[in-house]
Amino acid sequence: MTVQLAAQHEAANPAAPAPPPPSAPSNAIIWPGAMQCAALAGALAGVFTLLSFALPPVALLSFFWLISAPIVVLGVYSSRFRRSRITMDFGARLGVLTGLAILIATTTLNTTGLFVQRFVFHSTSDIDLQITNLFTQMHTTIAASSGPASAEALHMLAIPEFRAGILLTSIVICLILYLGFSAIAGAFAGYLRARTPQ
């Protein structure tokens, strides 16, 4: 009897539906869209890199794209998502994201191209000559100075692994510097485009 009364009471007074989860504000950053814009920048950088293999002058166009990409990507994102609130902080983050996408694309293609040139076509004599000239110049500069420190430096410079370490360290420093540049360029573009939604 009590069960029937409880059932009748529940039928007469249905439970209120659960409130919907709060939606994101209309001016929120759309990160999937930001990632798509950054990926597009990486894809274009990859295309320029591939073209530069066959047409070396395209490398200049690729260089200009590397410089302007963080600013252009923020402009593309801003035009696609007009209600998003653009800030310097977001510009810097999008700049770093763009830089990462570009570095992943270009580093992968350049490494693959160098591997193919060396081990398939055996046509890296120009690169080897440039590296040899670089270390010869370093050797000459160090040898010009006297002292035990220079003798130790010359000894280290004669070790192939040490030379490889110098090259890898230089590459890593360049990559970090480019990410820093991308962040600064994105932050500057964000500052210029800083706005609140209409």
- pLDDT confidence bin for 83, thresholds 50/70/90: confident
How many domains in the chain? 1
Per-residue pLDDT at 5:
53
In a domain, 95, yes or no: yes
Per-residue pLDDT at 19:
55
Per-residue pLDDT at 196:
44
User: Which comes out higher in pLDDT, residue 131 or 122?
Assistant: 131
In a domain, 58, yes or no: yes
SS3 assignment, position 195: strand
Q: Which helix (H) or strand (E) holds 34?
A: helix 31-54
In a domain, 172, yes or no: yes
Residue 95 has pLDDT above 90, yes or no: yes
What pTM value is reported for the model?
Answer: 0.75
In a domain, 137, yes or no: yes
Task: Please say whether the beta carbons of 69 and 98 come within 8 A.
Answer: yes
176-194 confidence digits (pLDDT tens): 999 999 999 999 999 988 8
Task: Please say whether the beta carbons of 99 and 179 come within 8 A.
Answer: yes
Residue 139: partners with Cβ closer than 8 Å, 6 or more residues away: 154, 157
Sign of the C-alpha dihedral computed for residues 96, 101, 106 and 108 taken in this order: positive
Please state, in angstroms and as integers, the Cα–Cα distance from residue 54 to each residue in 41, 48, 124, following that order: 21, 10, 15
Mean pLDDT, rounded, of the chain:
82
Residue 198 has pLDDT above 50, yes or no: no
Per-residue pLDDT at 8:
60
Nearest to 84 by CA among 8, 193, 164: 193
Task: Please say whether the beta carbons of 87 and 190 come within 8 A.
Answer: yes
User: Which comes out higher in pLDDT, residue 41 or 117?
Assistant: 41
2-51 confidence digits (pLDDT tens): 555 555 655 555 554 555 544 445 568 899 999 999 999 999 999 999 99
Task: Please say whether the beta carbons of 192 and 96 come within 8 A.
Answer: no
DSSP 8-state secondary structure symbol assigned to residue 121: I
In a domain, 7, yes or no: no
Q: Taking residues 119-127, report their average pLDDT.
A: 73
In a domain, 6, yes or no: no
What are the helix (H) ranges across 55-159?
58-80, 88-116, 125-144, 148-157
52-81 confidence digits (pLDDT tens): 988 888 889 999 999 999 999 999 999 998
Please state, in angstroms and as integers, the Cα–Cα distance from residue 35 to each residue in 38, 64, 191, following that order: 5, 21, 20
- pLDDT confidence bin for 119, thresholds 50/70/90: confident
Distance from first CA to last CA of the chain, Å, rounded?
61
Q: What are phi and psi of 13, to 5 degrees?
A: -125, 75
In a domain, 22, yes or no: no
In a domain, 1, yes or no: no
What's the CA gap between 59 and 197, in Å, rounded? 39
Domain with 126, as residue range(s), is: 30-193
Would you mind telling me the total number of residues written for the chain in this entry? 198
